[in-house]
Chain A
Amino acid sequence: MPFISNTPQQQEQMLTEIGLTMDELFGDIPTELRAKALNLPLGLSEQDVRNRLTELAEKNATNLTCFLGGGFYDHFIPAAVHSIISRSEFYTAYTPYQPELSQGTLQAIYEYQSMICRLTEMEVANASLYDGGTALYEAMMMALRITGRNKVIIDDSVNPIYRVMIKSYTQNLRIELGQTCCQDGLANREQLLEIIDDKTAAVILQNPNFFGCIDDFSDIADVVHSKSGLLIISCHPISLGILKTPGAMGADIATGEGQSLGIPLSFGGPYLGLMASRKQYVRKMPGRIVGETVDRYGRKAYVLTLQAREQHIRRDKATSNICSNEALCALTALVYLSLLGQEGLRETAQLCADKASYAYKRLTAIPGVEPHFRGKWFFNEFVLDLPSEAADVIAKLIEKGFAAGFPLSRYYDGMENSILICVTEKRTKQEIGMLAEALESVL
């Protein structure tokens, strides 16, 4: 049998040694509860399963030139990333409960936490959450615990997928969710000033926002803090190679989707939920945290720490129910950031901005194609208005070999003709030119 080491003879021998039969081993399951033979296919050989999955993989598009983003990005991944994370001492281990056998994972998580703090200019970070959306939900729950309040305000320029996730998670809880509508691509100050009050636990914003526009929320941080509420900023980690950080803006909790840090798109997961905060809130933070300590002989060592926050100790009083998180994805992000280094990350971020800016100019030169937000700074994504329905144009461009962007009508009323276009450092000037030609030809 596949992956079972013992031969039938050994199994018999073991049964004889313990004086039991296989039937007796399952004798505690009442007969009426035992399953008949399952209606499943017979097992496949490795060769057969590889052939079959190769066939399925080939039914998926891999040859589209990708200008599709929406929070999930096609970045270049150095070969060394996969090589390092494929070391089985990392990927076949579990949660580092036994620090003596897990110093590799533990030090890596400590370094990851440090890397995320340096990236976001925040003081503390956890070992990872599932993804950017659940990280934002956990940040919201954390803010409710810290403030003891129950009102949360989210701007509609926060990734709409995250907004619907938060709505789902809070359905059974007594939480007042308020929404502000971004104004000309930026957070709506006027509306926020009106709605932030003494009951507000947190304001949730995103930078760059879902439309790609860059903002500075420092003024909003001051307003939220004057009402003793918290500011939560969801950020794009690659953008922090050049953009003003959540820490510098005065955020109390920063979250983000870590997928762009060396993790393949993989049809939606596994991804990586980033979370960082201020030191004073560390005991309210969800998830695993690794700390430095010394061992019995005074040697530097790393352990899971502040475990009294967690479900395996605190049960129904825990800060979160999370157990397995995305440790291997956090390691991936750490390796990726280590390979890029300080200068590499800055260059990558700058290239995204340069290429997006070039694409913007190239595409808006096409008659009938107009920028949706004029004169706004953007990072790697921007919104264009087309002369006809965006979803239709995008479908035509798929046939020409481009995943040209995302139709915003899917989440925003009145944006039928608007397309969100993403350009990462991977796209070339030539590819951008070809997209422009293809777009012009289908309009």
Chain B
Amino acid sequence: MKLIFEKSVFGRRAVRTGPSDVPPISIRSDLLRRKPAQLSELSELDVVRHFTELSRRNFGVDSNFYPLGSCTMKYNPKVAEHIASYPGFANLHPLLPQLRIGGMLTQGALRVLYEMDLLLREITGMAGFTMQPLAGAHGELTGMMIIAAYHREQGNRKTTILIPDSAHGTNPASAAIAGYNVVSIPSNKNGIMDIEAIKQHLSDEVAGLMLTCPNTLGLFNPHVKDICDLIHSVDGLAYYDGANLNAIVGKARPGDFGFDIVHLNLHKTFATPHGGGGPGAGPVGVKEKLLPFLPVSVVIKRNDGTYTLQYDRPESIGYIAPFYGNFGVILKAYVYILMLGKEGLRRVAENAVLNANYVKEKLKSHYIVPFDKICKHECVLSISEQMAHNGVRAIDIAKAIIDRGFHPPTVYFPTIVKEAMMIEPTETESKETLDAFIDAMIEIAEQAEAQPDKLKSAPTAAVVCRPDETIAAKNLNIAYL
């Protein structure tokens, strides 16, 4: 398909500005660009057709089942999109509350932020939230900065963050850019973080621990409270990566496990759309003793029932985002929580876990399940058997799934499982959809035995087939200039 630049026709226009009602100004010419920015020149119809064609070369949750493990690709309610486009929210200037009496003109938006804080406190068992982190990884960095601020205040000199080897890559990356050394803790034969291994690495150097629970194998660590206690024994802080909260929302709370800091991915658990790679939102919640460190600003409720922003926070880590977070995303998640209520949230976890176990049980006689026990919101298969017998790899299975009309699961993650395939069905999918996927997976397993070469030529139904990543990196072409 042609690039938008290749469709450009000199002199063609889409949006036109009206005639100017003020006299033109000529800015000194050496301050101006020499030639106009070389953008495409197209009609509105050209532009609409171009992007409609691009959209047809894409696949979203609305297209079909999207069991991408660790990403929680659940249905994104349309009503939330609708509400986020209300002019009272979409057109609101973020600097208004910084003007005298301007805050009174943003009471609706401030109330959304304030109430979202209360809702998330109750859902997680934490004492207070900042809505500012702009994505999950940004929440992690915020959490690491809070850990650093806490230890600075305590007069602690600590250098290390412990992270399990099954963690998302963002965990070690976030700890490192916050200035910490990362020590990777191996998982044990049961697929969970080993208490003994933690004890071996426990020292005064340990500033904290980052843990996803259930972990990326979909396994809940029953010793999670003991792990938090161990970290606390050296005055470390326990950080809960909420990427997998969908597994336990409404059923258990990280705050009750002993975690001091939590981030949530609103675009996962709370159903805001992933947007092809963002925007997300990653609110961070903390226990009482860490409240003073939360970023500037914080929404508070005055005695007269109005809402305002608190900027005077001397112990705060400061500003991590320009304003109040990705408000549009927070708003959609707020709508979702209001619609589900306490019963609905509990049903989320129950059905997410039921769907994952259903898929695992139906597939385990066809694929290796390295840790075959009750899983939470996702299950991990290994394609190692097919690999050994027929040279069929996880990537081949993934591409064959595309030909059967589904988005493939996550592959090659977590890295501690050979030829891993991580399936997260989410609670919004029906039994009929799961059954169709299971049938496709079984048929693929049979094909791996009978006609392995066919799998290696998949996908045949997509617009492209296995683009060459090596060529892309070697002959780097990342802009059409």
Contacts and interface: CB of A to CB of B under 8 A. Distances in A.
A168 B277 CA distance: 26
A414 interface: no
Contacts of B463: 100, 103
B388 interface: no
A98 to B, nearest CB: 6
Interface string B31-66: 111101111111010011011101111111111001
17 contacts: A3-B75, A4-B348, A18-B358, A22-B350, A49-B339, A74-B93, A90-B58, A100-B459, A103-B1, A108-B54, A167-B318, A266-B92, A292-B472, A303-B472, A305-B472, A351-B17, A354-B25
Contact of A15 (B222, B265, B279, B354): B354
A257 to B, nearest CB: 8
Contact of A10 (B38, B222, B329, B430): B430
Given A296-B466, A311-B170, A89 B60 contact: yes
Given A312-B169, A344-B13, A2 B339 contact: yes
A88 B477 contact: no
Contacts of A10: 430-431
A378 to B, nearest CB: 9
Given A95-B277, A100-B399, A292-B477, A340 B14 contact: yes
Contact of B90 (A165, A264, A288, A315): A264
A33 B5 contact: no
Interface in A363-409: 377, 379, 391-392, 394-395, 398-399, 403, 406-407
A42 B317 contact: no
B58 A40 contact: no
Most buried by A among B28, B88, B279, B355: B279
B479 A123 contact: yes
Given A53-B86, A90-B60, A172 B466 contact: no
A38 B322 CA distance: 33
Contact of A243 (B33, B251, B253, B467): B33
Given A49-B79, A94-B276, A57 B63 contact: no
B273 interface: yes
Interface stretch (B108-116, B229-237, B440-448): B108-116
Contact of B473 (A45, A117, A306, A340): A306
B480 A111 contact: yes
Given A5-B431, A94-B73, 10 more contacts: A62-B88, A80-B14, A91-B274, A92-B274, A101-B402, A111-B480, A248-B34, A269-B327, A338-B50, A391-B100
B328 interface: yes
B236 to A, nearest CB: 16
A26 B467 CA distance: 41
Interface string B312-355: 00000111111111111101000101111111111110110111
Nearest to B340: A43
A28 interface: yes
Contacts of B66: 92, 94
B179 A267 contact: no
A194 interface: no
Given A4-B348, A306-B473, A91 B479 contact: no
B479 A125 contact: yes
Interface string B467-479: 1110111011111
B322 A161 contact: yes
A161 B95 CA distance: 11
Interface in B82-130: 82-96, 98-102, 105-109, 111-112, 119, 122-123, 125
Give 7 closest A-B pairs by Cβ, nearest first: A57-B88, A268-B323, A168-B318, A43-B341, A104-B58, A328-B275, A92-B60
A204 B408 CA distance: 43
B136 interface: yes
A327 B169 contact: no
Contacts of B269: none
B105 A64 contact: yes
B477 A341 contact: no
A110 B274 CA distance: 19
Interface stretch (B140-148, B198-206, B283-291): B140-148
A326 B326 CA distance: 10
B358 A130 contact: no
Interface stretch (A148-156, A223-231, A317-325): A317-325
Interface in A88-134: 88-105, 107-108, 110-111, 113-115, 117-119, 121, 123-125, 127-128, 130-134
Contacts of A312: 168-170, 413
Contacts of A311: 137, 168-170, 172-173
A113 B374 contact: no
Interface stretch (A177-185, A329-337, A434-442): A329-337
Given A311-B173, A341-B12, A118 B39 contact: yes
Contacts of A26: 251, 350, 353
A242 interface: yes
A100 to B, nearest CB: 4
Contacts of B267: 324
A288 B276 CA distance: 12
B450 interface: no
Contacts of B33: 121, 240, 242-245, 248
Nearest to A86: B81
A40 B123 contact: yes
B173 A42 contact: no
A241 interface: yes
A95 B122 CA distance: 31
B59 A22 contact: no
A141 B111 CA distance: 36
Given A1-B347, A103-B464, A168-B319, A351 B20 contact: yes
B398 interface: yes
B62 A88 contact: yes
B111 A59 contact: yes
Contact of A341 (B42, B88, B102, B327): B42
Contacts of A127: 277
B407 interface: yes
A310 interface: yes
Contacts of A288: 277
Nearest to A159: B322
Given A11-B354, A41-B341, A354-B24, A25 B374 contact: yes
Contacts of B475: 293
B96 A321 contact: no
Interface string A334-362: 11011111111111101101110110000
